[in-house]
């Protein structure tokens, strides 16, 4: 039996897909990796908001899954739309890696720094922490962003810790940012194995229950707020409590709330945002 796993074609994405494949392999099961180019991969210069809605790194992979060209899609769960696409389900979450953001190029935040990131979530929280920081747009894969940081002589950039860890680049990390300072993207650090509805048995045996218990409330909270990559919103479950955030893009205000019910948190934060 041959199972085709679809993934983005970057080094990080293929590393993640091979990790999933290693967990899924068993006697009699052959796995083929199928690299797929997404809208976010084709356009590496414009801000995400000018390319399309949240999901710019998953849409084409989901289309391949729905059409039967692949059998399993491997996504960084934070890149997915907050609500499941019709006909598809997350059949498994792999055990979550470090969900924190990483400061690269410096060991701490300092006034007046020039920091590169394309994330409005990161931008909002940086400026809320210190309005003297200059946040500069920066896109590309991990290696490209590291190169651009040096070419543009930025003081630092912010990347997901998990991506650097998976690529063997943990030495690039100057500091792993505490969620109290930088609340992570919903589902950051988790890999999602997406399948067609009714075919969950393909991946069910590698589902990590504790990761699912934490990640699904995060995704639900963000979905209920109705936000995506264009909105400064974050959600993170630390194992006992769900923390959520909504902010102004320029960090003029940030509202954080904690609790156990993603519906209640989303309603409270949405109400605060429209005042």
- The catalytic site residues sit at 79
- State the Cα–Cα distance between residues 132 and 49, nearest whole angstrom: 25
End-to-end CA gap in the chain: 56
Of 192, 203, 204, the closest CA to residue 13 belongs to: 192
3-state secondary structure 9-60: CCHHHHHHHHHHHHHHCECCEEEEEEECCCHHHHCCCCCHHHHCCCCCCCHH
Q: What is the DSSP letter of 185?
A: P
CA 121/CA 26 separation, integer angstroms? 40
Q: How far apart are CA 148 and CA 176, in angstroms?
A: 21
Report how far residue 199's alpha carbon sits from residue 221's, in angstroms, rounded to the nearest whole number.
26
């Amino acid at each position: 039996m041959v199972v085709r796993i679809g993934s983005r074609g970057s080094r990080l994405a293929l590393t993640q897909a091979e990790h999933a494949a290693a967990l899924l392999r068993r006697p009699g099961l052959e796995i083929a990796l199928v690299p797929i180019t997404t809208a976010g991969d084709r356009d590496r210069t414009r801000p995400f908001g000018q390319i399309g809605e949240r999901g710019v790194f998953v849409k084409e992979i989901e289309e391949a899954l729905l059409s039967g060209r692949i059998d399993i899609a491997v996504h960084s769960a934070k890149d997915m739309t907050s609500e499941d696409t019709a006909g598809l389900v997350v059949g498994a979450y792999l055990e979550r890696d470090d969900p924190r953001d990483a400061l690269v190029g410096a060991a701490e935040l300092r006034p007046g720094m020039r920091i590169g990131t394309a994330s409005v979530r990161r931008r909002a929280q940086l400026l809320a922490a210190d309005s003297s920081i200059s946040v500069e747009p920066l896109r590309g894969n991990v290696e490209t962003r590291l190169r651009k940081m040096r070419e543009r002589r930025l003081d630092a950039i912010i990347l997901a810790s998990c991506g650097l860890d998976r690529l063997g680049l943990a030495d690039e990390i100057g500091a792993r940012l505490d969620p109290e300072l930088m609340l992570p993207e919903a589902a950051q650090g988790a890999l999602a194995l997406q399948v067609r509805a009714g075919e969950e048995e393909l991946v069910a045996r590698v589902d990590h229950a504790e990761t699912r218990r934490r990640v699904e409330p995060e995704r639900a909270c963000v979905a209920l707020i109705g936000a995506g990559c264009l909105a400064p919103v974050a959600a993170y479950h630390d194992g006992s409590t769900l923390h959520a955030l909504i902010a102004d893009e320029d960090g003029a205000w940030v509202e954080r709330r904690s609790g156990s019910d993603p519906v209640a948190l989303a309603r409270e934060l949405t109400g605060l945002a429209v005042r």
